[in-house]
Amino acid sequence: MADGRDLFYFDDSAEYVSGERVRRLDDPRPLPDRFAPVVGEDGVARPVTGPELRRDPLTGDWIPMAAHRMNRTFLPPADANPLAPARPGAAYQDGEIPDTDYDVVVFENRFPSLMAVPGVPDQVTLRDGEELWPTRPAAGRCEVICFSSDPTASLRTVSPTRMRTIIEAWADRTAHLGELPGIEQVFAFENRGKEIGVTLHHPHGQIYAFPYLTPRTQAMLTQAREYADRTGRLLGRDVLDAELRAGERVVLASEHWVAYVPFAARWPVEVHLAPRRDVPDLPALTDAERADLAVTYLELLRRLDLFFEEPDGTPIPLPYISGWHQAPVRTGRELSRLHLQLFSVLRAPGKLKYLAGVESGMAAWISDTTPERIATRLKELAR
């Protein structure tokens, strides 16, 4: 891209797969190199600085400080959508994709929470010399994945062929990002709906390469390690087997995948989608598992978009967050098992679940429903 970021096309259209046609690869925008020195108000050029990690002394969590994101794009008008294809014949527009069409595209985020700056060593320093205030560069990487060139589409409305291409992109980027220096885990996710707080409604997701293990992953590894030490078994495997034995919360099962509402679901709508085979991450999936996932995931999304209805029976598209829990790059891979977690903050038509005192302040969750009720509704929506 014009400022030095990477962009990748993933195509399934026949003329591009065959090589008969190629995508536009040059970016005509007059953007400066993102790592070029920055001239301040005093006229002095200074090296560019990236986001910073600060360690919370009370919890041990690393918190990215990415102040530059305050000015990122927010709900732009249709004619200024940065994820839309370039307009045919336009000499310049401030969009991120240079071609006038695309199938699936991945590129580095223009406003990243994590970014490695060349020449800046990834090492811990103490702010003001205080032992309790360690900091380090937020030397990871943030990518955007666009699921469709159609700004009115959604992941649910893509074809199984396109869904398969998206899965291939997730797997490809997971493998490549995991090879970058200092990366500890890769998280592919999607935010959908204004209730979730999305700033761009174009169908897209994100892929984060973290230079540390996130608190959620740390907690799951701790549980899995304790369980393995006590039983000698893989926790994720036994959780899936227990759900299959009970059957009550299993909402969708295919040859290679099982979708179920977890026994201790936190959210008003929550589903986990897991492979039947023990798989650490998306790159480890076979062709058959990927093909099956493309169909199974779309069926799950179809049902979720029917979960709530308006008084007149009109379905309410479900606002949701979905993310792939994958094995870390190095630590705890033998304890990890791939699964997708998808959940919504919508608890009823027009009513949201707000994380109030005990949940926001103490991370002490209280569910407004039961997993069995969620599962019953999703089963009712089977074709």
Within this chain, do residues 244 and 175 fall inside the same structural domain, yes or no? no
Within this chain, do residues 207 and 231 fall inside the same structural domain, yes or no? no
Asked if residue 233 is part of any domain, the answer here is: yes
Residue 235: helix, strand or coil by DSSP?
helix
Task: In whole angstroms, give the CA distance from residue 96 to residue 84.
Answer: 8
Asked if residue 301 is part of any domain, the answer here is: yes
The backbone torsions φ and ψ at residue 252, rounded to the nearest 5 degrees and listed phi first, read -160, 130
Q: How confident is the prediction along the chain (383 residues), in pLDDT tens digits per residue?
A: 999 999 999 999 999 999 999 999 999 999 999 999 988 888 899 898 899 999 999 999 999 998 754 444 555 666 779 999 998 887 777 899 999 999 999 999 999 999 999 999 999 999 999 999 999 999 999 999 999 999 999 999 999 999 999 999 999 999 999 999 999 999 999 999 999 888 888 999 999 999 999 999 999 999 999 999 999 999 999 999 999 999 999 999 999 999 999 999 999 999 999 999 999 999 999 999 999 999 999 999 999 999 999 999 999 999 999 999 999 999 999 999 999 999 999 999 999 998 889 998 999 999 989 999 999 999 999 98
The 10 Å Cβ neighbour count of residue 177 is 21
Nearest to 127 by CA among 68, 65, 182, 183: 65
- Please list, in sequence order, all residues whose beta carbon lies within 8 angstroms of the beta carbon of residue 185, skipping any fewer than 6 positions away: 209, 210, 213, 214, 217, 326, 328, 329
Residue 310 near residue 316, CB atoms below 8 Å: yes
Within this chain, do residues 226 and 123 fall inside the same structural domain, yes or no? no
Nearest to 81 by CA among 141, 10, 150, 17: 150
Last residue of one domain, picked from the residues 213, 233, 256: 213
Within this chain, do residues 69 and 111 fall inside the same structural domain, yes or no? yes
Active-site position among 202, 204, 256, 325: 204
Residue 175 near residue 311, CB atoms below 8 Å: no
Q: What is the pLDDT of residue 163?
A: 98
Within this chain, do residues 58 and 99 fall inside the same structural domain, yes or no? yes
Nearest to 135 by CA among 67, 62, 47, 208: 62
- Please list, in sequence order, all residues whose beta carbon lies within 8 angstroms of the beta carbon of residue 51, skipping any fewer than 6 positions away: 64, 65, 66, 67, 68, 112, 113, 114, 115, 137, 138
Last residue of one domain, picked from the residues 168, 185, 213: 213
Q: What is the CA radius of gyration of the chain?
A: 22
What CATH number is attached to the domain comprising 123? 3.30.428.10
Task: In whole angstroms, give the CA distance from residue 342 to residue 354.
Answer: 17
Total domains in the chain come to 2
Residue 361 is classified by DSSP as I
Within this chain, do residues 51 and 178 fall inside the same structural domain, yes or no? yes
Task: In whole angstroms, give the CA distance from residue 297 to residue 8.
Answer: 24
At how many degrees (to 10) do helices 235-246 and 215-231 cross? 80
Task: In whole angstroms, give the CA distance from residue 208 to residue 211.
Answer: 10
Q: What is the pTM of this model?
A: 0.95
How many Cα neighbours within 13 Å face the side chain of 339?
A: 24
Q: What is the pLDDT of residue 70?
A: 41
Last residue of one domain, picked from the residues 195, 213, 231: 213
Asked if residue 2 is part of any domain, the answer here is: no
Within this chain, do residues 190 and 261 fall inside the same structural domain, yes or no? no
Provide the domain limits for residue 326: 216-381
Asked if residue 257 is part of any domain, the answer here is: yes
Q: What is the pLDDT of residue 18?
A: 96
Task: In whole angstroms, give the CA distance from residue 202 to residue 182.
Answer: 31
Residue 236 near residue 242, CB atoms below 8 Å: no
Asked if residue 1 is part of any domain, the answer here is: no
**Helix runs in the chain, H state only:** 14-17, 160-177, 215-231, 235-246, 287-304, 362, 371-380
Within this chain, do residues 172 and 221 fall inside the same structural domain, yes or no? no
How many Cα neighbours within 13 Å face the side chain of 88?
A: 2
Q: What is the pLDDT of residue 202?
A: 94
Residue 83 is classified by DSSP as T
Within this chain, do residues 336 and 288 fall inside the same structural domain, yes or no? yes
Task: In whole angstroms, give the CA distance from residue 56 to residue 53.
Answer: 10
Within this chain, do residues 227 and 180 fall inside the same structural domain, yes or no? no
How many Cα neighbours within 13 Å face the side chain of 53?
A: 22
- Asked if 256 is an active-site residue, the reply is no
Q: How many residues does the chain have?
A: 383
Q: Which two tokens stand for residue 273?
A: 């989608």
Within this chain, do residues 200 and 231 fall inside the same structural domain, yes or no? no
Q: What is the pLDDT of residue 306?
A: 98
Within this chain, do residues 228 and 361 fall inside the same structural domain, yes or no? yes
Distances from the Cα of 294 to the Cα of 164, 199, 250, angstroms: 5, 26, 19
Task: In whole angstroms, give the CA distance from residue 317 to residue 301.
Answer: 10
